[in-house]
Structure 1
C-alpha cells in the first residue's frame, strides 16, 4: 500500500513580511513624533501651571502645619492652625459672610440674567437688544478696583443713592450704607451682583442661540404663553450655561477680595470680613503665615466641595 505524499508547507514571503514590519515601524515613529510634538507644545503651559499654581498650593499646605512669621525659623505645630481656623469666631464669621455673599454674587445675578436674556431674545431683531447687551455687560469690563471706588462714592453719606432717596422723599432711610453694621454686607453684595450680571447674561444668551426656534413656534401653536415657554423650553435649554454661571459666581463669592478691600476693608468691625481678606491680614499684617496658609487650604476645600458637584451635574447633562 502506497501512502499519500505529505502536504506541502505554506510558502511565506519573507519580503512581504519585512515590508509590513517596516511600515508598522514607520507608523509607530510618526505616531511617536506627533505625540512628542503635542507634549512639547503643552510643556510651557504645564510648566507655568506647575510653578505658579501647584507649587504655591503645595507650599501653603506645608506652611499650614507650622507656626511661622514669614522671616524667622518655623515651628512645627501639627493641626493646631486648622483647629484655630474652625474655633476662632472671627475666622468662622468670615466664612459665614462669604456664604451669605453667594446670595448676592450668584443667585441674584443668575436670576436677573435669565429674565434679561429672555427679554433680549424676544426683541433680538431690534437695535434695543444690542444696546441692552452692551449696557448689561459693561460692568464686566470695568476693573474691580474701579468698580469698588465708584460704588463707594455712590453709597457714601452724600452719594448718589442717598441723594436719589431724598429726592423721592425717603430721606429718613438714608445712611452710610458701607459704614452701617446692618447694611454693609448687603451693600457689598449689591456691588458684586452688579459686576456678575454681565457675565451671566452673555453665557445665557449664548446658550439660547442653540435652542431650536421651531420649539417656540410649536409651543405658540399649542397655546403656550411667554411664561410657559420660559419654563418649558428656555430654562431646560440653558441648563448647562446656568450651571456654569453658578459655578463661576459661587467661586467669586467665596474668593472675593478686591471689591471688599476697596469698599470696606472688612469693616465696620468684621461685618464684611471674608476669607480672602482675612488671609491677607493674617499673612501680611499679623505675620501668622501658618494660620493664613491653613485658612487658604480650608477655603480651597470649600470651593472644591461646591464646584465639583456642579461639574458632575454638567457631565450628567452632557451624557
Structure 2
C-alpha cells in the first residue's frame, strides 16, 4: 500500500516531465529531419541534409567558437573566482557582519533580470555616453576608448564580462554552502598541526567541496552553451556575426528565416554538446572520488 502511495505522489511530476521535457526533445529530433516552415502545414523529409548544411555554414563555427570561449572564461572566472571568494568569506580573518554584507553584495546581481542587466551594460559600453569610456578618459587611458559592442574584436569579450559580473556571486553562494558542511574538527586539527590558511584551503576546503565544484562547472558550461538572452539584448549576434552563438544562430534560422527544420537541427546539436559535456565532467568527478 505504501509503495502505491509513493507512486501516486511521483506520478504527476513524472507526467509533467515526460510531456514538457522529454516529448519535446524527441519531437525536435524528428523535426530536424524535415524541411519545414511554421506557416505551412506540409513538410519535406530531407534526412540528414539539415545537419550537413550546418557543418557547411561558417557562422556555425563562429558560434561554436564563441560558446566555447564563453564556457572557458566562465569556468575560470565564475567557478575559479567564485571559489576564491567563498574561501575568503568563510575565513576567520573577516568579521561576521562583513561576511554577510559581502555575500549579499556579490549574490545580488544574480537576482536581477538578464534582460535588465544586458540593457544596463549596453549603456555602460556606449562609446559616447557610456560609463566605461568615461572612466578610461578620467584616469588618463583615453586611448583605450572604443565602441565595445560595435568592435568585432571586443564585442564578445564585453558580453562575456557582463555574465561574469552577474553570475560569479551565485556560484560563490553554492560553494559557500558546501564549505559550511565540512566538519569544523578538520580545521581545528590542521590548526593544531600549524597549518596556514593557504594549506587548509588546499588540503581541506577544496577536496571537501570537490563534488560541488563539479556541479558548478556543469551548470556553468551548460549555461554557456545555452546562451541567448545576453547576446540578443546587447548585440543580436553582430557586428558581422562576431558575437553569434549557437542560441542566436538557432533563433535566426528558425524565426528570422523560418527554416524550422534547420533550427531544430541546431537545437539537437546544442543538446548533444551540453549532454556530452555534462557526462564528461560527471565521469571525471566520479573517477576523482575513486
Instruction: Flag structure 2 segments of 5+ consecutive residues without an equivalent.
Output: none
Deviation for aligned residue 1:290: 1.0
| Aligned position for 1:53 | 21
Instruction: Give RMSD over aligned pairs.
Output: 1.6
| Aligned position for 2:73 | 104
Contact 1:105 1:252 in 2 (8 A): no
CA distance in 2, matches of 1:166, 1:219: 49
SS of structure 2 residue aligned to 1:37: helix
SS of structure 1 residue aligned to 2:243: coil
| Aligned position for 1:25 | none
Instruction: Flag structure 1 segments of 5+ consecutive residues without an equivalent.
Output: 1-32
The number of equivalent residue pairs is 287
Say which of 45, 55, 78 aligns to 1:76: 45
Deviation for aligned residue 1:191: 0.9
1:37 matches 2:5? yes
SS of structure 1 residue aligned to 2:90: helix
1:149 matches 2:102? no
| Aligned position for 1:295 | 266
Deviation for aligned residue 1:312: 2.8
Deviation for aligned residue 1:318: 6.3
CA distance in 1, matches of 2:147, 2:282: 40
Say which of 118, 121, 136 aligns to 1:165: 136
Contact 1:104 1:192 in 2 (8 A): no
| Aligned position for 1:85 | 54
Contact 1:113 1:198 in 2 (8 A): yes
Contact 1:99 1:254 in 2 (8 A): yes
1:138 matches 2:138? no
CA distance in 2, matches of 1:209, 1:93: 41
Note the 1:91-240 alignment, pairs <5 A. 91-122=60-91, 123=93, 125-157=95-127, 158-240=129-211
SS of structure 1 residue aligned to 2:146: coil
Larger Rg: 1
